[in-house]
Amino acid sequence: MKLLAIETSTMVGGVAIMEDDTLIAESRINVKVTHSERIMGAIDHMLMQSGMKIDDIDVFGIAIGPGSFTGLRVGLSTVKGLVYATGKKLVSVATLEAFAWNMPFSKYQVCPLLDARKKEVYAGIFRWNGNGFARVMNEQTIKIDKLLSLINEPTIFLGEGSIIYKDSIKAWLNDSAIFGNPQDMVPSPANVAYIGMIKAKKGEFEDPIKLVPLYIRKSEAEIKIGS
């Protein structure tokens, strides 16, 4: 089974291809260029370099959020277009769960943080249970101080939110605050592909018509309309 995964939850967009249990290719880039400008080019390049065509892909995977509203919309619209064009299956993967997989086998709990603006973060807390990550705290939008008040043990922090609020995290948790290395601080499309492959093998497919991004909170436009 061949699976192509797309990750556009943050500025670090990327694509990965897996065939069964083998990672064939992964591409990610952390630059200020919109995903709409580069995602299809990245897909075409990876397929060409892998000696594949789009019709060779059996399943498409997408990081469904939370994250950048624009990035999630671009990623989902792209993958839906590919699914409609090819008639292939679709799986979705929670962004922060996939992010936690940057630290498999960790003896410490893992807390990926994405910047949600307004002094808030998209956060989740995950603990390795031997076969994967279990949720200690479900994904949510939360003030950084409130989040830190809930943590009372050594924790690995990942993501742009942990960089933005590093001083606050260190001041609150002291030596219990552990930060990932640079390569671990950005989302991995390969993780999305890996989890997506597990879901595909279980037959946990999505209806592309009904699938929507996991925003968690309303966009600025929705807030203004409702006010």
pLDDT along the chain (227 residues), means of 10: 96 93 91 70 93 97 95 94 97 98 98 94 97 96 97 97 97 97 94 98 97 79 39
- The confidence score (pLDDT) of residue 29 equals 78
Tell me the residue type at 119: K
Q: What local confidence, expressed as pLDDT, does residue 227 receive?
A: 38
- Picking from 39, 185, 37, 224, the residue whose alpha carbon sits closest to that of residue 100 is 185
Alpha-carbon distance of 204 to 91, in angstroms, equals 7
By CB atoms closer than 10 A (0-12, 13-18, 19+), residue 141 is: middle
Tokens 């260029």 belong to residue: 33
Q: In the structure encoding, which two tokens stand for residue 161, read together?
A: 């939110």
Using CA atoms, how far apart are residues 64 and 6, in angstroms rounded to an integer?
A: 9
Whether residue 177 contacts residue 157, with contact meaning beta carbons closer than 8 Å, is answered with yes
Q: What's the confidence (pLDDT) of residue 30?
A: 72
Confidence (pLDDT) at 80 = 97
Residues 136, 149: contact at Cβ < 8 Å? no
Query: According to the model, what pLDDT value does residue 39 have?
Result: 87
Q: What pLDDT sits at residue 35?
A: 62
State the pLDDT at residue 13. 83
pTM score of the predicted model? 0.93
